[in-house]
Amino acid sequence: MATSSAPIRLSWQDPSTGEQRLPHLSPPIALGREFTHMPVDWQGQRVSRIVLNSGQVSRFHALLTWENDQLRLQDQNSSNGTQVNGGRQTDCLLNHGDVLEIGPYRITLLLRDDTDLGANRVRGDSVILIADPIPEVAPVTSAFPPPFFQSRQVNIQALYATQYPVEEVDYGALGAGLGSFVWVDLLRLCGVSPQQVRVIGLEAQPYARYQRLCLNSQIPAHERLRSNSDSCPDNIWGWPGYALREAWHDFTQGQLRSVGYRLWQVFAEPTFAETYTPKSGRVFASIDREATRIGWPQMYRFGRIRAIRQTDDGRYAIAYALGRGQYAFLVARYIHLATGYPAIQFLPDLQDYRERTQDFQVVVNAYEAHDHVYQALERQGGTVLIRGRGIVASRILQRLYEARQRNPNIAVLHLMRSPKPKGNQFQYARRAVSNHFELQPFNWPKACWGGTLRSQLEQAGPEERMRLLADWGGTTTADRGDWQRIVQAGLDEGWYQVGFGTVTRVEPDAQGCPLTFIQEMGLKGEIKLEANFIIDATGLDGKVKTNPLLDELVTHYNLPLNLAGRLAVTNDFELVEMRNHKGRMYAAGAITFGGPYAAVDSFLGLQYAALCAVNSLAQGRAPQLRSLHGWHSLAQWCKWARNQTP
Amino acid sequence: MTPTLLGRWQTRILLFLTVGLLLTLPFGLGWIGPGGTAFFAILFYLLGLGLGWDVLYIYLQKFRWDQDWPAAYQWLAALWEGLVIVLLFEAMAISLPGVDAEAFQLGWFLLHYMVVWVGIFLASQSLMRLLFLHWRFRGGQWL
């Protein structure tokens, strides 16, 4: 039994970043929105103050204390109250496994420390790096980049003196993924010639990595992405959107019913019709067409970037490896960083299981290649445990439903931390919920892309940004009719079950199958779940520290990170601390999350970041660049429509 | 496009004064229907009232989790805005500068309003995006 000074563990998922938090704390514990409004001492004991940054949380919301060997919760007259296991409480005693709901935060209390949870690991290593398509064969030698890269600024002559090839251009895009593509596409539309642009990355197709993550998470070419009709990476105007193009295609095929349905969707979504989303294969095909049109292959250079440095003449030098011991430098005045998600987030207990057992087959992450799971299930049946309740979990469930058509002896257990009777609240609105899934057409409320919420976030200070992101964020899935039907059929037929609780540990049984030990909510008992496979569908990790290249850059130039641990950028997506005379550096994508824009990792978000960056370049009179407005914009669109070089 | 208040106002003013005015010309000059300056006056009343309606619509948006405004809502709003004009001049027979309620012809008004509205809707769905790249990212602000 716990004694009056024993530490407890709180466990929750951060609603803005999706990270797992597992702090070990000694009560008294104060929970609230503002650090300074919570007491420093309580009855002579030092208080552990935990900030829950949300508009739904009061400045000092609740206090947890030991009282006669029992943990006591006292709500501090909070505006929105504290729920314990779904019921509102102002003063009560708490048990092991109870779930506190405070605003968008759902915090599980673990009083007995029999929990393994991989909690001793720092969160940072509970990720798996996204594998490179081409593994680096040659060992990373200390000879490259050369020693003079240790200095703050490098000399151009010194680069040439190394005898390695040096290319000098105006614009350099680092990453070569969709973020780079969208930026380069806009540069080309604004008049920059391909000779003045270089793109460095590991894959020639800008969507290669995105496509791989889609395929792994079971979205093949004919399945639909969670993206809007007018979020078109191949078309900055967003017109015609994918819905109109699909309708036109179906019209030429004589499928008139489908034409009508697509048009109705974009007209009435999301209130009167299911939100239109494009098929992944169509999106990739449209990017292929645009890549050819703008001369992407001429601008692309294969390479693994080793270091980014300022030069002493107001530019930047990029040192990169071409493989087989070959190296090169790129020198550019304007740099765009879009390296994407460095890692897949992995639940700590599952990461622990894999490390202990060295079994990478039965416990998998949804973003890893894991087709063997479905093949094995289709062959011999079995039970799958899904963790996480986002869009990936929905798609995995759909894939398992398809597997059940081939072998009905497949059962699915969906493990969630706590029930979800109602969704997040922001101002007057509340997010819809169905079968414990929070529903939202896209990964952020729609007004985050260009509406009221976008301008609100842009104007907010750093603390307030995190608060807004927590209120708007959280794990959601799309309200798709087929998914709703699958969940309902599964529940009715009994092959799909939802369980709630906190995983205390995962261990192999005698047959080598993973056994999940769960602390059920509000009950003192522990239950065991047996499964043949566990699929972790919790998400991707975008922390700068996880990416060795960015980590080195941040350390070398002492760059500030924002409160989400990503690169701190201005509203123009510039890294101002990297300014070098006329030289400018910009960033886009997941590495800028927590800044001026919420949906940074979406197609439209990448386009927004590119527009901001290119606008700022045009204001600074960057060479060859002409703002894309009015008739100039219309003329460029006509070239796009006719598939002519910009 | 998910509008903001400033975006709604800017878009409304621009589209009424370009597409709206252009499509009102044939009615005002009598190429279609009886002609008369009343068509222009009604266009300006629609615009003026509309700037007020926009404040209401932005308030209503706050009750939607996504704070968006589906295309279908644009049409519902158009029905409402047209209905108010009909109530004003036809049902309540109120004369205002430029519009004589006695001479108000419901049939021609409906045709004029429909043409103007569909023109504005189509332009807002296509041409605005092509001319103003930032328009859809700034809630409809084109300036």
Q: Write out chain A residues lying below 8 Å of B71, CB-based.
A: 266-268
CB contact (8 A) between residue A429 and residue B65: yes
Structure tokens at A606: 């990448």
CB contact (8 A) between residue B68 and residue A267: no
* Helices within A129-237 (DSSP H only): 156-161, 178-189, 208-216
Closest by Cβ to B62, choosing from A236, A428, A455: A428
Checking B13-22 for CB contacts under 8 A at 24+ apart, the result is B13/B47, B13/B51, B14/B142, B15/B120, B15/B123, B15/B124, B15/B128, B16/B43, B16/B46, B16/B47, B16/B50, B16/B120, B17/B47, B18/B123, B19/B116, B19/B119, B19/B120, B19/B123, B20/B46, B20/B47, B20/B116, B20/B119, B20/B120, B22/B119
Please give the residue of chain B at the shortest CA–CA distance from A438: B65
pLDDT digit string, tens, across residues B51-98: 999 999 999 999 999 999 999 999 999 999 999 999 999 999 999 999
Closest by Cβ to B65, choosing from A267, A430, A607: A430
pLDDT digit string, tens, across residues A124-176: 456 677 777 766 655 556 689 999 999 999 999 999 999 999 999 999 999 99
R_g over Cα of chain A: 26
Going by their DSSP bridges, the two strands A502-508 and A514-519 should be labelled as: antiparallel
Q: Write out chain B residues lying below 8 Å of A270, CB-based.
A: 66, 68, 70
pLDDT value of position A126: 65
Is the minimum CB–CB distance between A605 and chain B shorter than 8 Å? no
Distance from CA of residue A599 to its chain's centroid? 9
Q: What angle do CA A20, A22, A25 make, to 5 degrees?
A: 155
CB contact (8 A) between residue A630 and residue B132: yes
Q: Write out chain B residues lying below 8 Å of A247, CB-based.
A: none
CB contact (8 A) between residue B126 and residue A271: no
Residue B38 placed within a domain: yes
Distance from CA of residue B70 to its chain's centroid? 16
For the CA atoms of A289, A290, A293, A298, the dihedral, rounded to the nearest 10 degrees, stands at -100
CB contact (8 A) between residue A452 and residue B126: no
Q: Rounded distance, CA B136 to CA A385, Å?
A: 42
Q: Write out chain B residues lying below 8 Å of A628, CB-based.
A: 133
Q: Write out chain A residues lying below 8 Å of B131, CB-based.
A: 629-631, 633-634
pLDDT value of position B67: 97
Q: Rounded distance, CA A253 to CA A255, Å?
A: 6
Structure tokens at B67: 């704070």
DSSP A342: -
Q: Which of B1, B4, B65 is nearest to A445 (CA)?
A: B65
Is the minimum CB–CB distance between A433 and chain B shorter than 8 Å? no
Provide the shortest C-alpha distance from residue B26 to chain A (in Å): 26
Please give the residue of chain B at the shortest CA–CA distance from A439: B65
CB contact (8 A) between residue A449 and residue B126: no
Overall size of chain B counted in residues: 143
Three-state secondary structure call for residue B34: coil
Evaluate whether ipTM surpasses 0.90: yes
How many beta-carbon contacts under 8 Å exist across A and B?
108
Instruction: Report residue A397: phi and psi, to 5°.
Output: -60, -40
Q: pTM of the predicted model, to two decimals?
A: 0.92
**10-residue mean pLDDT series, chain A (646 residues):** 68 82 89 93 92 92 92 94 90 89 89 58 58 64 86 96 97 98 98 98 96 95 95 96 96 95 93 95 98 98 96 97 92 97 87 92 94 97 93 95 96 90 92 93 96 96 93 92 95 93 88 88 75 91 87 95 94 96 97 96 97 96 94 97 97
Instruction: Return the beta strands (E) in A393-522 as ranges.
Output: 410-416, 425-426, 429-430, 432-434, 437-439, 496-500, 502-508, 514-519
Residue B129 placed within a domain: yes
Q: Write out chain A residues lying below 8 Å of B4, CB-based.
A: 451-452, 455
Residue B143 placed within a domain: no
Q: Write out chain A residues lying below 8 Å of B10, CB-based.
A: none
CB contact (8 A) between residue A608 and residue B126: no
The DSSP H or E segment spanning A300 is strand A300-302
Provide the shortest C-alpha distance from residue A515 to chain B (in Å): 39
Q: Write out chain A residues lying below 8 Å of B14, CB-based.
A: none
Please give the residue of chain A at the shortest CA–CA distance from B5: A452
Structure tokens at A150: 């240790």
Closest by Cβ to A268, choosing from B62, B72, B126: B72
> Crossing angle for the helix pair B106-125 and B38-61, nearest 10 degrees?
50
pLDDT value of position A119: 47
pLDDT value of position A324: 86
Going by their DSSP bridges, the two strands A91-94 and A99-102 should be labelled as: unpaired
Q: How many domains does chain B have?
A: 1
Enclosing domain of residue B88? 5-138
Q: Rounded distance, CA B1 to CA B127, Å?
A: 13
pLDDT digit string, tens, across residues B9-57: 999 999 999 999 999 999 999 999 999 999 999 999 999 999 999 999 9
